[in-house]
């Protein structure tokens, strides 16, 4: 009997560099190759130019007093400045805090306070969000926030203007103080307690994860990676940016946020060899009226992650988008993020029914959630992972960390999985109630806690129900305070839009008298899901 345990072996050793040291290697080896192309602004940098720009911004941060270990927030859409902040903060030992561009005021305030952000870099506005107004709304409650620097504004120039006050020798001395095990990034994941938790990641965590994800799809300095997925997720900044720079490949930013036309145009114009996305992004691209007119012959590979890919979509991605080596990845923010990945030569069945095999230098096992014992292959249980990729912990929350990472350093994912005899893993459900809507992780408890403050709601349970477009959609099951005056879906949506990111807003509503309960008094969410799942 084979047990559901696998250890990723490989002939390539883990990197012992900091992110700055690794970038230096790429700059030295390929100074003239393109490192970054920001399509909307028309700007482009060779590796030599990118390295110089990173150094200048790093010295600018030092010039305004950013010390090792200080938290620098980045609240912006995809742009070149986002990438520069990522590498500049890493170079000086600051900890970059990713802030979701969709956050509203109370979410922004929570992150700024919980992480102790002292310097914030931000877009000025995007779509309906006026970032300046939102920052001013919360600033009085964030006394630790010393300065805010808006992209394309004089306040941004103040950063680079501070660079001459710091010498190259001083920057080098700061870098010499850094260890690859130092924290370099905090990413917030929605929390089941109603508040997000800050997964704290080291240079070693994310640099190696990006590097090995790139290794699995054969990256080299010849590759040009189109990254339409958000940088504030590990998908963009680790699997995208760090996978590229650790192989001296080129990062291509097609648009500030996902735009299917801009993405395909960037692939064509920049001759991209790799394209990223969640399945809904690829579906949007394939369904463009002018899809056939784009020249995608430069594509070779790419990564699809976030939710399972329908077989027919995968067939079209391979045949019509020329992505014969496209890869499926599975992971979570707390594991930097990727634990398993399909390989370049895996067949269609593995790419559509599994999330691949364990990465090199990572372990996975499937356990009985009740006993912790590893189950036989083919049997469902909780997926756990261990290795260099497991986070340092949740920022300033040791108890929450201990709940997620056990004494053996195994990260408990909360996902139900089976391991096949060939070592491939299939995700069959979730122990936690997490909803994955269009690649965004949504935790019902956070929405429930917020909706409890609605004047017409006495009780509420939020569940995910299947949706053809987004994979899952958010359903709010509500017990009204006054059965004769129940809230309407639009009222609840409007109430949420002011305070919650758009992807957390319920799209369906059911008015109920009571909830199905277990003998011990817990709500049976699985029964709610089954009851309201539309065929």
β-pair partners for 338: 331
Tokens of 377: 């292959």
Give dist(CA 416, CA 368) in Å, integer: 10
Give dist(CA 360, CA 364) in Å, integer: 11
Average pLDDT of the residues of the chain: 93
Average pLDDT rounded to a whole number, residues 205-215: 98
pLDDT at 194: 57
Dihedrals φ, ψ of 404, to 5°? -95, -35
Convert the pLDDT of each residue in 39-60 to its tens digit.
999 999 999 999 999 999 999 9
pTM given for the model: 0.85
Convert the pLDDT of each residue in 486-530 to its tens digit.
999 999 999 999 889 999 999 999 999 988 875 445 577 888 988
389 touches 339 (CB < 8 A)? yes
pLDDT at 309: 78
Give dist(CA 533, CA 467) in Å, integer: 9
Domain boundaries of the chain, sorted by first residue: 435-532
Q: Which residues contact 427 (CB under 8 A, 6 or more apart)?
A: 308, 330, 355, 383, 415, 416, 417
CA proximity to 430, closest of 340, 517, 529, 350: 529
Average pLDDT rounded to a whole number, residues 25-31: 98
In eight-state DSSP terms, residue 229 is S
Q: Is the dihedral of CA 184, 152, 116, 447 positive or negative?
A: negative
Strand duo 71-75 + 117-122: pairing? parallel
Is 297 exposed, middle or buried, given 0-12, 13-18 or 19+ CB atoms closer than 10 A?
Answer: exposed
pLDDT at 279: 85
pLDDT at 429: 66
Would you say residue 534 has pLDDT above 70? no
Edge-to-edge order in the sheet of strand 183-189 = 147-150, 117-122, 71-75, 95-98, 183-189, 197-202, 393-394
Would you say residue 535 has pLDDT above 60? no
Give dist(CA 442, CA 269) in Å, integer: 35
Give dist(CA 195, CA 67) in Å, integer: 28
Give dist(CA 296, CA 161) in Å, integer: 41
Rounded CA Rg of the chain: 23
Fold of 435-532: GMP Synthetase; Chain A, domain 3 (3.30.300)
β-pair partners for 415: 430
Convert the pLDDT of each residue in 111-150 to its tens digit.
999 999 999 999 999 888 899 999 999 999 999 999 999 9
Give dist(CA 112, CA 119) in Å, integer: 10
Residue 467 CB neighbours (<10 A) = 16
Tokens of 29: 């080896």
391 touches 199 (CB < 8 A)? yes
pLDDT at 192: 39
Would you say residue 432 has pLDDT above 80? no
Convert the pLDDT of each residue in 518-531 to its tens digit.
544 557 788 898 89
Quote the percentage of the chain above a pLDDT of 70.
Answer: 97
pLDDT at 196: 86
Is 98 exposed, middle or buried, given 0-12, 13-18 or 19+ CB atoms closer than 10 A?
Answer: buried
Give dist(CA 185, CA 73) in Å, integer: 10
Would you say residue 327 has pLDDT above 50? yes
pLDDT at 190: 67
Give dist(CA 421, CA 438) in Å, integer: 30
Dihedrals φ, ψ of 134, to 5°? -70, -40
pLDDT at 506: 96
Would you say residue 298 has pLDDT above 50? yes
Is the previous residue joined to 111 through a cis bond, with omega within 30 degrees of 0? no
User: Taking the C-alpha atoms of 368, 370, 371 and 372 in order, what is their torsion angle to the nearest 10 degrees?
Assistant: 50
Give dist(CA 271, CA 221) in Å, integer: 14
242 touches 233 (CB < 8 A)? no
Would you say residue 375 has pLDDT above 60? yes
Which residue carries 């879906």 as its tokens?
489
pLDDT at 519: 44
412 touches 430 (CB < 8 A)? no
CA proximity to 20, closest of 168, 172, 167: 172
Q: Which residues contact 55 (CB under 8 A, 6 or more apart)?
A: 88, 91, 168, 171
Tell me the pLDDT band of 477, cut-offs 50, 70 and 90.
very high
CA proximity to 112, closest of 90, 128, 134, 91: 134
50 touches 85 (CB < 8 A)? no
pLDDT at 193: 44
**Three-class SS string for 59-83?**
HHHHHCCCCCCCEEEEECCCCHHHH
Distances (CA, A) of 45 to 67, 68, 123, 215, 382: 27, 27, 21, 24, 44
pLDDT at 502: 92
Half-sphere exposure of 388 (CA within 13 A, CB side): 23
Give dist(CA 236, CA 231) in Å, integer: 4
């Amino acid at each position: 009997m084979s047990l559901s345990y696998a250890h990723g072996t490989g002939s390539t050793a883990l990197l012992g560099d900091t992110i700055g040291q690794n970038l230096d290697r790429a700059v030295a080896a390929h100074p003239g190759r393109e490192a970054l192309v920001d399509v909307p602004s028309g700007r482009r940098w060779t590796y030599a130019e990118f390295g110089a720009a990173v150094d200048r911004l790093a010295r600018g941060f030092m010039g305004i007093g950013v010390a090792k270990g200080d938290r620098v927030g980045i609240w912006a859409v995809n742009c070149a400045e986002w990438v520069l902040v990522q590498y500049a903060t890493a170079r000086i030992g600051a900890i970059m805090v990713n802030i979701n561009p969709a956050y509203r005021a109370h979410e922004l305030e929570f992150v700024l306070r919980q992480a102790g952000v002292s310097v914030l870099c931000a877009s000025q506005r995007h779509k309906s969000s006026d970032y300046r107004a939102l920052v001013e709304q919360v600033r009085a409650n964030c006394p630790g926030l010393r300065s805010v620097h808006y992209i394309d504004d004089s306040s941004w120039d103040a950063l680079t203007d501070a660079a001459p006050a710091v010498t190259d020798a001083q920057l080098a001395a700061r870098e010499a103080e850094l260890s690859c095990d130092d924290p370099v990034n905090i990413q917030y994941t929605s929390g089941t307690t109603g508040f997000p938790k800050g997964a704290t990641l080291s240079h070693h965590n994310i640099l190696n994860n990006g590097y090995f994800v790139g290794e699995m799809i054969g990256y080299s300095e010849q590759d040009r990676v189109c990254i339409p997925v958000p940088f504030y997720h590990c998908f963009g900044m680790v699997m995208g940016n760090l996978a590229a720079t650790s192989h001296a490949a080129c990062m291509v930013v097609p648009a500030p946020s996902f735009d299917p036309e801009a993405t395909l145009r960037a692939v064509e114009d920049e001759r991209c060899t790799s394209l990223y996305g969640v399945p809904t992004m690829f579906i949007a691209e394939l369904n463009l009226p002018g899809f056939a007119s784009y020249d995608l012959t430069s594509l070779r590979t790419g990564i699809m992650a976030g939710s399972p890919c329908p077989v027919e979509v995968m067939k079209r991605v391979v045949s019509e988008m020329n992505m014969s080596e496209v890869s499926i990845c599975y992971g979570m923010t707390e594991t930097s993020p990727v634990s398993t990945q399909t390989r370049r030569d895996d067949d269609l069945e593995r790419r559509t029914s599994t999330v691949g095999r364990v990465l090199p230098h990572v372990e996975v096992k499937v356990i009985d959630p009740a006993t912790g014992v590893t189950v036989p292959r083919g049997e469902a249980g909780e997926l756990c992972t261990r290795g260099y990729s497991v986070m340092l912990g949740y920022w300033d929350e040791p108890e929450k960390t201990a709940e997620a990472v056990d004494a053996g350093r195994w990260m408990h994912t909360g996902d139900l999985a089976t391991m096949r005899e060939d070592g491939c893993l299939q995700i069959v459900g979730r122990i936690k109630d997490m909803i994955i809507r269009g690649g965004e992780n949504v935790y019902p408890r956070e929405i429930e806690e917020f909706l409890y403050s609605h004047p017409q709601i006495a009780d509420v349970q939020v569940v995910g129900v299947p949706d053809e477009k987004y994979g899952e959609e958010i359903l709010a099951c509500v017990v009204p305070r006054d059965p004769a005056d129940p809230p309407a879906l639009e009222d609840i949506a409007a109430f949420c839009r002011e305070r919650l990111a758009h992807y957390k807003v319920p799209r369906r509503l059911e008015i109920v008298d009571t909830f199905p309960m277990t003998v011990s008094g817990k709500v049976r969410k699985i029964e709610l899901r089954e009851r309201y799942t539309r065929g």
